[in-house]
Amino acid sequence: MENKLNEENKVDSSSVNVDVTVVIADNPGELELDEAGYFRIVPDQERMLILAKHYSYDKELLTVIEGPDARSIYRIIIKYGWASTLNHAAYLGQELARAEIAMKIGFDYVQG
């Protein structure tokens, strides 16, 4: 993957005291699927655990990871390479954090 910036995404940084490039985030575009599979995130309110169910694209359940918080789960996912792209890892971190917060305050969680 190349790290290129389009001229349209750059912002004038002349008012900033350091030499830095400011990039305006834009729409990420179409979702790219991870070859390693996908996850369903399920908070278990009764046991105060988050379940991350790892599936193949043939809908075969491969692994269930249980943990008390987002961090414990995403560390296992990264350790075993079950998220093989940075986009997928970032998405999982976001969703696991949302599930953890929802579980701790007693709200329903729907994976986005």
Please report whether residue 1 resides in a domain. Answer: no
pLDDT value of residue 1: 44
Helix/strand/coil percent split, the chain, to 5: 30, 20, 50
Would you give per-residue pLDDT tens digits along the chain (112 residues)? 455 556 666 655 555 567 899 989 888 778 789 999 999 999 999 999 999 999 999 999 999 999 999 999 999 999 999 999 999 999 999 999 999 999 999 999 999 8
Residue 83 counted as domain residue: yes
Q: Domain range spanning residue 47?
A: 32-105
Q: What is the pLDDT of residue 112?
A: 81
Q: Classify residue 69: in a domain, yes or no.
A: yes
Residue 44: per-residue pLDDT: 94
Q: How many domains does the chain have?
A: 1
Query: Is residue 63 included in any domain, yes or no?
Result: yes
pTM comes to 0.77
Q: Hey, is 79 helix, strand or coil?
A: helix
Answer yes or no: is 24 within a domain.
Answer: no
